[in-house]
Structure formats: C-alpha cells, structure tokens
Structure 1
Amino acid sequence: MGILTTRRGFLAGGTGLVLALTLPVGRGRAQMTVTGPFAPNAFVRIGTDDLVTVTIKHIEMGQGPYTGLATLVAEELDADWAQMRAEAAPADDTLYANLAFGAQGTGGSTAIANSFMQMRKAGAAARAMLVAAAAQEWDVPASEITVKAGVIAHSGSGRSSGFGALANAAATQPVPEDPPVKAQADFALIGTDRPKLDTVSKSNGTAQFTMDVYRDGMLTVLVAHPPKFGATLAGVDDSAALAVKGVRMVRPIPSGVAVYATNTYAALKGRDALVLDWDDSAAETRGTEDMFAAFAEAAAQGGQTVEEEGDLAPLDAAATVLSAEYRFPYLAHAPMEPLDAVIETRGGKAEMWFGSQFPSFDRLAVAEALGIAPPDVSINVLLAGGSFGRRAQGSAHLAVEAAEVAKAAGRDGTFKLVWTREDDLRGGYYRPMTVHRLRAGLDADGKIVGWENVVANQSILAGTPMEGMLQGGPDNTSFEGSTGLPYRFAARRIGWAAMESPVSVLWWRSVGHTHTAYAVETFLDEVLEAAGQDPVQGRLDLLAAESTRERAVIEEAARMAGWQGRRRDGKGYGIAYAKSFGSYVAQVAEVEDRSGIPHVTRVWCAIDCGIAVNPNVIRAQMEGGIGYGLGTALHSRITLAPGGGIEQSNFHDYRMLRINEMPAVEVSIIASDQDPTGVGEPGVPPIAPAMANAWRALTGQKQYQLPFLGGAMA
C-alpha cells in the first residue's frame, strides 16, 4: 500500500488566509506550494474578521463531522472555539476524497478516522504561517511567539493580535513542508466537550435542508414506482393526472412515471390519478415466509466457507450439541427526512442541491444519465435529516432519478424530486433479509469444542457499480462480525450462502454487524449458560491474553452495571460485545417484564474508539445507536405479502421506538492513545443481543426471529 503524501497550499486573497489540502495516494515527500487566489479546494479559511471556516468533506446528517473535523483544525491552530465555523465541501473527488475509500463519500464510520491527521496538519500549517507573519511584522523570533485561544502574542514586546489582522500577511509566508502536530498530552480541545457547530442553525430554522430549497420556476416531481420489485411499466393513462390543477406534465422514466407540478400537493394528487399497468414477469412474487424458507434451506446446506480454523469433527460427537436458526427481516432505514433532491439544468450543465452522501458516485452517474461531462455537474452538499446508510447509494439511484426527471422534461429547468414516507418504506434498498444457522458443541467439562455459523442473505455489492470491490470473492459486508471473533474456540467454521432476489438491498446502520452480533452473542450466551458459566466471566475466559481492548470494554460495562449475574430484584440482565468499524463496544441491558413485553430500563455502554475527539458526540452516538437498534429489534420489519407486495407504508405499521421506551443510558469512554475509530454505527450491534440475553435470563424465552413484537402497535 502506498504512503499517503500531501500537497498543501495557502491561497492568498482579499478574504484572508485559505489552506488547500489534498492527499493523493503515492510515494514521496510532502510538498507545499502557494497556488493562487481562493478556490473551493480549501479546507481552512481564516477571515479578516477572525472567523475560522473549515470546509467539511463529509456530509453532516446528525453524526457530528462539522464539529469533529473543526475540532481537529482548531486544536492545532490553537483557535478559540467561538471563532470556529463549518461549511460543506462541494462535490470534488480530487480534493475531498475519503482517504479510506479513495473517493468522496461518507460511510463506514470513517469521517474522523480518515481525516484525523489530515485536518490536524491543515490547522498546524495555518498556525505556523500566522506565527511567521507575526514574527516578521513584530521583528521578534518566531520561537518566542505563543498562540492560545485565538490570540497570537509575544510577551517580551507586549504585542498581541487576533488571527484576522495577520491573515493576509500569513498567506505570503513560506509554507511548512510537514508541520509538527501536538502530543496528546498537550491537547486543549480534543477530548473535551464543545457545543456542536450546527446546533444553533438547526434550532432557529436557518439550517438548509433539501426541502428548504426553492428556485424560480421550480417544479415539484413525484415518481410512481413499481409496486413490486423487478416489475416494469407496461402502460400508463395520464389523462386524469393531467387534469389535476397544478400538474404540468407526466413523463415515463426508467424508474417509473414522473408527475411534474407547481407544488407538492398537486404532484401527489396527480400521481394518485395515474392509471398504471405493470409487467410483473421479472418481479419478486414470493412472500416473506417463502423467502425465509428458501434462505433457511440454503443455510442448512452449509454455503461456501469464508473462515475455518481447526477440526469440526468433535462438534457432532460432543457431549452437548446446541443449535439455533435465526431469522432477520428486511429493514428500512427510515430517516426522518425521506429522499429528495433538486436539480437545475441550463446550457448543457447541471447543478444539484441535496444531501449527497457519496458525491463522487452521484456526480459521475448524473453526468452519464444526462450525457454530459462530469465537470459540468456540480453538487451542493446540504445537511441531511438522517441517513443510517440510506443516502450512501452505490448505484446513485436517487441522483440518477433526478437526472432522468430533468432529462425527460425535454427542456432546461429546475426540478425538485420528492419521495414521500411511503415511497421510502416501499422503495427498497433495505437491510438484507438474513438467516443464521448456528451450532456449538460442549465437551463434558463445558469447553466449546466446535462452533459453526452459516449465514444466508443477499450481497449488498453484487450487481452494483461497486461490485469490483469484491475482486471475485464473497461479500464480507454480508457476514462481517461472524468472522474474526475474539473468542477462542477449539474449532470454527463460518459459511455464507449468497441469495438472490429483485428486492434491492443496501448497507444499514452497522451493516452486517446488525444481525451477526445478535446471532453470535445470543447463541454464545446460551452456550455459556449450558456450560454453567457466567455470561461476563465466560466471555472473558474465552478471550486471548492479547485481547486487551475487548477485555477492557466488557469489564467496564460489567463494572458500570454492578454485575451480579443474570437476574436480581425481578429484573433480567444481559451483556453483549461487538467490534465494528474499528471500535470495541460492550453493553449491559436491564430488562423488566411488562405484561409479557420486554422493557429495557437501563443500558450501560463501554466503548473504546481510540482518542475521543468530541466525547459528547460519542456519547450522543452511542445513545442514538442504542435507541435505533432497540426500536428495530422490538418493532421494525419490512415484509412481502404473497405475490410480492410490500405490506408496510408508514410509521403506523413500520414501528419505531417511542420516547417512553427509551432506556436510561450511561456511556463510559475508555481512555486511549490509539488513532480514532468509528462511532456512528458501533453503538447499534450490541443492544439487541444484550436485551435478548436479559429477557431470556428473566423469562427463559429465546428470541430467534426479530422483531420481538412483530411490528405491531403496542
């Protein structure tokens, strides 16, 4: 793998000091050059008004990159937090690539991890140039100048200045090739709680989301999609739709039939008035139960081996053999803001405004759909009201649909594509339906002599433009978390059966870990109980000596909960552990039986995510992940009726967690000197198995199929 090298440049202009920074993959020494006036490839801009604006290459959808990445810059710049600002980067793959992907995009809980040193170096270089400018202007040694909380000072002469007064002069200074960054012991902002930079605008209504975008002459567009996955349009009668006041036109597009109107209400009424004929010959017509049966049969056949260690022969001859089959439904992401996008075409170019999570893919796909060059497509990345993976579309299907809408209009113009909640829940790109088939064997002493887990589900990457990432091998995102376990078993085998269906699937918050953690951790809990072992001590005993980070979070979660065993005072207690996206998380759940329904009253969560850049953001992400994972485990499912139609349509039948169901959550962040790892997703995987283990401890009931409550109103 090549060494990441940098090219950094300060851009001089009337607005102060701007730092441009790119990190192409290659070998060689970092080089910096002054590249001219302000350009959109800047990460750091210091205005003459003392404000520091950080251009953020990762979409802000509630997970905190505006605050986190600005913190990294502010730390090395020695800025005052009150002077920090953040703005979204435009689509520009060459300048704003995610260093974990090699393309511009947000996902896999990589925002802080891939930017950690990149943004710190940007701040450190800006600081060095400000100091050099001050030293020159004051005629004092740079080594005698200090910077603290946004003030540049020289104690000997009594001179001091804010950043703004020196910004233009700093832009003329030689650029340090590789500015040093602080030691962890010297951090002043990293590791402390700071107000989030986007809180005020989201509170007072000035924050701009896609639905807030209105352009002169804009038409609102809704698309009628096929009611079954894989169906295609056979015919349309649009006469009644065109008679609806406000409807301007109706056009077939590859994904369905688009209705263009002067407002959302007219577009809705026009779409309702369409008479549509669909061809189901290539559609998914199986119901959920038939699909589960097919997936279970494939899992029973063993699948292809994706991990194997030791000899499994003793498993069948073990003193005790346990087995279980787990079933997980399709799940929608259901972010509070459904999909939407604004596109404007003029003179052979296109400009877009939307919450683009993968601008690289979206830009290329739109260019291809419109038949124009990628540089002629510009994307303004807006705030997004959640995603949980939904906007991270390898197929760029939303951006392509917007482009097809603009193309089908037959003229230049501005079009706002809107998906309703019903469109979102019935629109596919779900967490894959999955079946796990597990077996474990215990010898007479209670030692686990064999462990087998076969996973059957659809590949997320196969058949998409990202299929090349598989390099002909299995799709790790389908079974991640079932492999690479820290537990020492005498022998293990993990298998995967690749299933096919026209139902579209996508990564969903924590991707494969969302189901593998449940299957692994609940089944392991049963195995430990059969062996007469405590759930906490049993897990610790299975860890290797070098598994120090795993051990630390398990022990910390147990300590926080005052662990005394599976039951006490009429309540059940369960623990679960999962490592995902580089972070180690253990959770203990306390559960009560309320008229036969599990109610989680408290959750204790321990996380090791390396250096904690913004502890409050980490706590918030753990709390949010726990609520999200708990709600789906209790209530959520997408099911197909016999014949293939989706049965859910809105929150009345795709149930989410309610506020009175949210447990009290306590989060402990393990101190670390390791580089930061993910926090957006790792809070999700352990909560469902922790709850299930507590419920089984309390009632003896085992839950092999989610959700617990079948999605019914409770």
Structure 2
Amino acid sequence: MYSNSTDTLDIAGQLPKGLQALMHKAQDAAQSIADAALQRRSFLKVTTAGGFALGAFPLLAQAQTMATAGAPAASSLKPTQQPSAFVRIDKDGTVTVTINRLDFGQGVQTGLPMILAEELDADWALVKSQHGNADPAYVDPAFGMHLTGGSGSIKNSYTQYRELGARTRAMLVSAAAAQWGVDAGSLRTQQGVVIGPGGKRLTYGELAEAAMKQPVPEAVTLKDPKQFRIIGKPTGRLDARAKSSGGQSYGIDVRLPGMLTAVVAHPPVFAGKVKTLDDTAAKAVPGVKAVLRVPLDRGGEGVAVVAEGYWAAKQGRDALKVEWDSSGVEKVDSVQQLASYRALAQKTGALKYNGDISKLATAPKKISAEFAFPYLAHAPMEPLNCTVQLSGQGADAKAELWLGTQMPGLDTLAASKALGVAPQNVKMNVQMAGGGFGRRAIGTSEYVVEACNVARAARGAGLTAAVRTLWSREDDIKGGYYRPMHVHRAEIGFDAQGNILGWDHVIVGQSILGGTPFESFMVKDGVDGTMVEGMKEPYDIPMRLSVHHPKLNVPVLWWRSVGSTHTAYVMETLIDEVARGSGQDPVAYRLKQFGSKHPRHTAALQLAVDKSGYGKRTLAPGRAWGVAVHESFNTVVAYVVEASVKDNTPVLHAITAGVHCNLAINPTSVEAQIQGAALMGLSMCLPGAAITLKDGVVEQSNFGDFPVPRITDMPTVAVFIVPSADAPTGLGEPGLPPLAPAFANAIAQLTGKPAPRELPFKLA
C-alpha cells in the first residue's frame, strides 16, 4: 500500500515522526496508561472456560486495573514485545495467537501464528488464531501505527513474532525448572511439551498458570533457520475449513440483538447534497424505522434508510424521491479528463529524477510512447460495512464497532471524533474481511465515519439498537476512492546495442496523498512518491522523470500494489521494446542490464525462464512468449507467459512465476498470493476494466459493466520460489504488477507492433 521510495514511507521499516505523532496524538492519555500496565514482567492471570491461560488483555480503559501489589519491576519491553497480548495457552494445551493485522484473504491469520509457534515449539495441531484490535500492542512494529498494508504483515512482524514465541517458551521452561528444582538449561521443548531429566514431561497447558508468574525475558536466542520445522513448510490455512464450508463469519455477517440495518442514498456526483426529499413512500415500507439525512465524506450529504434488515432498508431507499444539488462541485468527464492529461503530459512537471538526457535528441534509435490507464475500483467480494453500537451519555458515552479494517487505530480516532465519544471509550472489533485491496485503509475513514453518522442520527431519532450500515455492490463501485487515472509520456533514445542514451518521462495523475494527513511528509517537492514507485529501477538509465498532480472531484486511493500498477507496465513494455529494437532477446537483455547489481532480479527471472522452458520448448502455433520482472515492496516477481491473439482478442494461456521473497514462511500461501495477484493483474487487461465518468457521474455499477475475470479467463499458473533463509519480504501485492506487461509483451511478439499503450487492451 505504501511506496518503497525513500521520499515517502521507507519500506525498510521507518515511519516519519510526523505521522507517528499524528496517529497517536488523540491516544496519548490512554497509551500512557497502557504502557505503564504493560511495563511489567508478569502476565495477567485470566480465568477462562478452559482454565488458566497466558491471556490477551485490553490495553486501554481497563489497563489501569492491572497494577497489582507485588508485581515485578518494570520491563523496558514495548507493548508490541509483550507475549501477554499475543499468546493464550489453555489447560488443554490449545495455543491461541492474536494477530496484529487484518486478514482479508492474504493468509496472515496462519502465517503469523506459524512464526510464533515455531519459536514457541508449539504443537501446530493445537494452534488457533484471532484478530487483535486497536490496542497499542497491535501496532505495526516498524510503522508505529495500526496498519495492514504495504505488504508488510509478515515482513514487519517476522522478528517480532519470533521473539514473542521465544519469550513465551522461555517462561514455560522457567516454570518447569522451578517445579522440578532443576536448571532451566537442562530442559528442552518439543511440540507443546517441556521435557526434563529422566524423561519427565509437562505440557504447556499444565505449565500455563505457573508460567504467568515468571519474568518476561528481554533478550532471547532465536532458532537457526536450519532448525525450523513449521516455518517454510507448506501449510494449510487455519481458516480453510470455515471458508470452504461457508462457516466463516465476516464483518457483513455481524448479528446483534435487535440490530438494525441502514443503507445510504449517496449523491450521484461526489460531494453533492440533498436539495429536496420526499420520504413518504420509504417510510411506508414494512420494517423501515427511520429516514435520516446524514453528512457524508468530502462535505456531501446523503439519506440513510434504517430498517429491520437489508431488504427492507433497500426497498425503502428505492422508494425515496430525492432531488440532488450538485451546484458548486466539479463534474468530471473522462473524455475531457484524458484530453487534458495528454496536454499536461507534453510539459515537464515537478521533478523526481533529473538524469542527463542531453544525448536523447541525437540518439540513432528512438521510441515515443504515450500510455493511458483508467480509474479502477477495488470491488472486493465483501462490500463495505460497519456496525456501530452506542451506549451511555455524556462523559459515560461508549461506542463499539465491528468491521474489517486495515487501520483500526485510525478508524477508532475517526469514530471518536464523529461520535463525540472519548477514544478510550471506543471499542474496535476487527472482523475477517472478504477482500479489500486497499479500500479498507482510508485516510479519511470515510465509510466508518459514515456509519457513525448514521448510528448517531438513529439514536437521535430514538433508535437505541446497534446499526449496521451496509453498502451494496453498486454503492461500492460507484462510491469512489479509485486507483487514479494516469497518463504517461516517454521519449527514449538508444543505440544499436540497446544502450539507453536518454529517457524523458512525464506522468500525470491525481495524488493519492493530497489532502490527507500524509501529504505534509509523504509528498516531497511536489511529487507524490506513491505515483512514481517502480520507475527507473532496477535499470541504470539516464532518466528525467517529472509529474503533474491535477486536482479533480474524484476521490482516489491506493489499489493493490499502488504505483506499480501502472509504472511496471510502462517500464517493462518499454524495456522489451528497446530489446526488440536492438535485435536482442528480451530475457538476455534484462539479465545484461541486471548484471551483478541485482542478484534477486536475476534469480527470479532465471527461475521463471528455466521452469517455463522459455527458449527451449516449442510453443503451439499462434502462441508467443511474454516476459516481465518487477520489484515492489522488496519482493521480486518475474513472469514468463504464453499468450495468443484470435480475432483481435488476446488470450493468456499459461503463467510461470519466479518469486524472490526471501524466506517463504508458508509456500502454500505464497503460491495462493501469486495466483490471486496474477488474476487481479489480468483483470486490468480485460475489456470493460475501467471506471469512467460522464457529467460527474460514475457510469459503472456492478460486475456486469465492471467485469472481473471468469474461470474461463484463468490461465494455468505455476509458482516457483527462489530458496533463501533471509528475513521475508512483502508478498500481498508484488505478484500483480508484472502480469499485464508480460501479457502485453507476448501480444507485441505476435502482432509485430508495440505493446498496447492503453489498459484495458484494445487491439482492434
């Protein structure tokens, strides 16, 4: 979700101090209470149905109750390093691991427990997992805020979860040593059991209560990767049975006693308002409880229909007679927007790179190219939803929320402000989410604030039950926050050997960060770093890169792999074109460019080439190879594809992936992530994959006019991982960017023309 540019968020693990201050400003009081309570060496004793456990505990409002007489001296460990918030061991030996992320399909609800269980030496058959919440313990340890994004879940918490497991194991061993009266160094562990002299055995469940009284070690020795028995092994997901049987509960499935459901009529033009409203027919629909005017994102206004269930709420909304006022707001038209972008692309903008392009004019070979990329909706299978329960009055007011959120801390603060409830009185229940791709990580917390506004208005109307605000698929696709539209212009000069002598490049597109709290320190010298990530690297080329960030009345947001969704396409199709233009094989040309400076790129590409049979295997008539390689979020993915073109329709038949993500925690999840990302990358190429506007109104509304790939579109996908014992890198997003350019490069081989300059593909 975030750039790997050093001008923005440093994906290596630092967050600008300004953002940390912003994120935690409203939590300072609660944080200080939580930190004081957590800075203790003993675990909190929790009684559960299964007996005593190493238990997770709330870190905000209730944290002050944890200061107990006789507690050991304070520890210097941070909340994120304390096992008590992450591990619960029941008397029967069941280990429940709390994850500090949202799982919305990427598999971290299995991957993070695997890491902790490895160092804990747990019996994997007894390991379960659950989501955390907005407590300080569950911030991303690298970014310092609650965040699922930037493909950082495993990467940023790898060492954290190893140490959590090792600390818990050390406490269990210490408890056993005390019980047996022996030195802890004489004991060993194996699959949930501490083994002592003479074969004595105590299970983790038997030791849990005593282990809670042991000091939390600040320093622990971690395993040598050669000792791993869980990490690196193909492992089925802990949620697989629930999902495959229909038993998995998502945010949309929340059910509370007496709960009401609300749907909102949004203005057709962003930031529009209600001019006139006739709600007579809506109120007559059986089950409708209230019709409420509510403030919306970006200063707009909508009408919420609150009812006993979704269908009644929808029927009520359909019966509304609303006249909208869109005066004073811009009405974007995609045709005009594209023309204005193309005009801007002819001018140099704010500079990102200022390479020497003096030899461009006299270069013997030249490429002049213009690319266009449309707005894209996230369109997750589970539409947006948020359930809000309000209680109490005044200083005693409380709120409880249920939703799948990528930023529970930020959303808690936004809910606090919208509801007028103190942050420590807002409880966030993070739910499994059915996809998101960035749509559930919004700087404005737009859909969360909307749900809070609805709940507050409902309470003002005398409705005290919890209110679930639910978006339909149409609401979601027409509702904004899209991957921005972009235009690229490139002028390239090179010689007969393929040496690039000059590359002048301009990108036009809205800033994702403009107008958000991130802008002040993530937009540098007029350049939004998220838009230019993926440009230039890893190729050592003289590039002048500049950008224009026009402001339009269309809300934009990161979309799976962010800037790399378009920069990878431009870079990899143009690099291919330079290779072909100088009579070189595209693979050989790339390997020569990588040289010895980019061994991970070389390894990923060579693996994909070797496994695909590229250059050695004869393809079926009418098919051609296509190649692309790209690094995003510190992971390199190379694709070698087979494609054909029939009746001006491109068809993708097979994908071979070479992946360098360093240590693969769960190869099964790596394979699934690459397959899913490749499919989403394919979705950008298919006819209809564009969000367009006319007179300010989004023209698409559902999968009928914003299609996703069908099973008949899915090629075979073979995934191969470069072996490595180095700490893992991100994987949620890197599989997407190189798919479209690899496909396009195969089309270029077949047609003898440059790769398509526009997405989705238009060959006719």
TM-score range, shorter chain: over 0.9
**Cα deviation, residue 321, structure 1:** 1.3
Distance 1:78 1:340 in 2: 38
How many angstroms does 1:619 deviate by? 0.8
Of the candidates 158, 165, 172, which is equivalent to residue 213 of structure 2?
172
Look up the SS of the partner of 1:32 in the other structure.
coil
Partner of 1:298: 344
Size of the aligned set, in residue pairs, is 698
Counterpart in 2 of 1:681? 733
User: 2:564 aligns to what?
Assistant: 513
Out of 655, 659, 680, the residue aligned to residue 711 of structure 2 is 659
Q: Pick from 499, 517, 522: which aligns with 2:550?
A: 499
The Cα shift of 1:592 comes to 1.9
Deviation at 1:514, TM superposition (A): 0.6
Alpha-carbon spacing, 1:327–1:565, altered in 2? closer, same or farther (3 Å): farther
Alignment partner of 1:338 is 2:391: no
Instruction: Give the distance between the partners of 2:123 and 2:232, measured in 1 at CA.
Output: 15
Structure 2 residue 360 is the aligned partner of structure 1 residue 315: yes
Aligned partner letter, 2:749 = A
The residue that corresponds to 1:27 in the other structure is none
Q: What is the one-letter code of the residue matched to 1:219?
A: L
Match of 1:386 among 427, 435, 460: 435
Letter in 2 for 1:479: V
Matched residue type, 1:671: P
Aligned partner letter, 2:512: I
1:556 paired to 2:607 = yes
Alpha-carbon distance between aligned partners in 1 of 2:451 and 2:388, rounded to the nearest angstrom = 7
Match of residue 513, structure 2, among 448, 461, 464: 461
Q: Distance in 2 between matches of 1:86 and 1:34?
A: 23
Tell me if 1:522 matches 2:573.
yes
Shift of 1:557: 1.3
CA shift digits 1:122-154 (9 cap, x unpaired): 110111111111122223332222211222212
Higher mean C-alpha displacement, 280-289 vs 349-358: 280-289
Q: Where has structure 1 moved over 4 Å in runs of 4 or more?
A: 1-9, 19-23, 33-36, 565-568
How far apart, in 2, do the equivalents of 1:21 and 1:47 lie?
Answer: 15
Find the counterpart in structure 2 of residue 326 from structure 1: 371
Counterpart Cα distance in 2 of 1:637 and 1:171? 55
Which stretch of the first structure deviates more once superposed, 11-20 or 389-398? 11-20
Q: Cα deviation per residue 1:96-131 (whole Å; 9 max; x = unaligned)?
A: 111232111201110011111111111101111111
Deviation of 1:568 (Å): 4.2
The answer as to whether partners of 2:118 and 2:231 remain within 8 angstroms in 1 is: yes
Please state if 1:645 is matched with 2:686.
no
Instruction: Quote the Cα distance in structure 1 between the aligned partners of 2:57 and 2:649.
Output: 54
Q: Distance in 2 between matches of 1:476 and 1:182?
A: 38
Match of 1:12 in 2: 45
- State yes or no: 1:251 paired with 2:302: no
Native 8 Å contact 2:533 2:567 kept in 1 = yes
| Alpha-carbon distance in 2 for matches of 1:417, 1:502 | 24
Say which SS state the counterpart of residue 387 (structure 1) adopts: coil
Distance (whole Å) between structure 2 residues aligned to residue 302 and residue 678 of structure 1 = 33
Q: Does 1:224 align with 2:260?
A: no
Q: Report the equivalent of 1:578.
A: 630
Alignment equivalent of 2:409, drawn from 347, 360, 364: 360
Counterpart for residue 203 of structure 2: 162
Q: 1:632-674 CA distances to partner (integer Å, 9 max, x unpaired)? A: 2223433434312211111111111111111111111111232
Cα 1:180–1:417, aligned 2, differ >3 Å: closer, same or farther?
A: same
Structure 1 match to 2:62: none
How far the C-alpha of 1:607 sits from its partner, in A, is 1.0
Between the aligned residues of both structures, percent identity stands at 43
Q: Following TM superposition, by how much is the alpha carbon of 1:171 offset from its aligned partner in structure 2, in angstroms? A: 1.4
Q: Contact 1:16–1:45 at 8 Å: present in 2 too? A: no
Are 1:50 and 2:93 counterparts? yes
In structure 2, the partner of 1:152 is 194
The one of 143, 147, 152 aligned to 1:101: 143
Aligned to 1:80: 123
Whichever residue aligns with residue 707 of structure 1, its letter is P
Q: 1:115 aligns with which of 153, 157, 179?
A: 157
Q: Output the CA distance in 1 between the equivalents of 2:668 and 2:311.
A: 41
Aligned mates of 1:289, 1:523 — CA distance in 2: 26
- Structure 2: which amino acid aligns with 1:454? V
Residue 11 of structure 2 corresponds to which residue in structure 1? none
**Which whole-Å CA distance do the structure 2 matches of 1:497 and 1:42 have between them?**
45
Please name the residue that 2:280 is paired with: 239
Q: 1:172 to 1:611 in 2, by over 3 A?
A: same
1:273 to 319, 330, 337: 319
Is the Cα–Cα contact under 8 Å of residues 338 and 420 in structure 1 kept in the other structure? yes
Equivalent residues of 1:152, 1:160 under 8 A apart? yes
Between stretches 188-197 and 459-468, larger displacement belongs to 459-468
Shift of 1:699: 2.0
The range that moved more, 283-292 or 630-639, is: 630-639
Please say which of residues 542-551 and 402-411 is displaced more in the overlay: 542-551
1:274–1:162 CA distance, 2 compared to 1 (3 A): same
Give distance in 2, aligned partners of 1:74 and 1:576.
37
Distance 1:466 1:182, change over 3 A: same
Rate the CA distance shift 1:638–1:316 in 2: closer, same or farther, 3 A. Answer: same
What is the alpha-carbon distance in structure 2 between the residues aligned to residue 183 and residue 425 of structure 1?
48
Distance 1:100 1:35, change over 3 A: closer
Normalised TM-score (structure 2): 0.87
RMSD of the alignment, in Å? 2.5
Call closer, same or farther: CA 1:34–1:642 in 2, change over 3 Å: closer
CA distance 1:76–1:604, shift in 2 (3 Å): same
**1:197 equivalent in structure 2:** 238
Q: TM-score, normalised by structure 1?
A: 0.93
Deviation at 1:201, TM superposition (A): 2.1
Q: What are the within-5 Å matches in structure 2 for residues 537-548 of structure 1?
A: 537-548=588-599
SS in 1 for 2:574: helix
Q: Secondary structure at the match of 2:291?
A: strand
Question: Cα offset for 1:163?
Answer: 0.8
Which among 710, 727, 749 is matched to residue 697 of structure 1? Answer: 749
Amino acid at match of 2:499: K
For the residue of structure 2 that corresponds to 1:290, the secondary structure is helix
1:398-417 alpha-carbon deviations (Å, 9 max, x no partner): 11001100111204331010
User: 5+ residue gaps in structure 1?
Assistant: 24-29
* Structure 2 runs not aligned, ≥5 long: 1-13, 21-34, 60-72, 297-301
Q: Does structure 1 retain, via aligned residues, the 8 Å contact 2:332–2:554? A: no
SS of 2:642's partner is: strand
Bigger shift: 405-414 or 661-670?
405-414
Q: CA deviation at 1:181?
A: 0.8
**Counterpart amino acid of residue 75 in structure 1:** E
Contact 1:588 1:690 in 2 (8 A): yes
The CA distance in 1 between the partners of 2:323 and 2:161, in whole Å, is 53
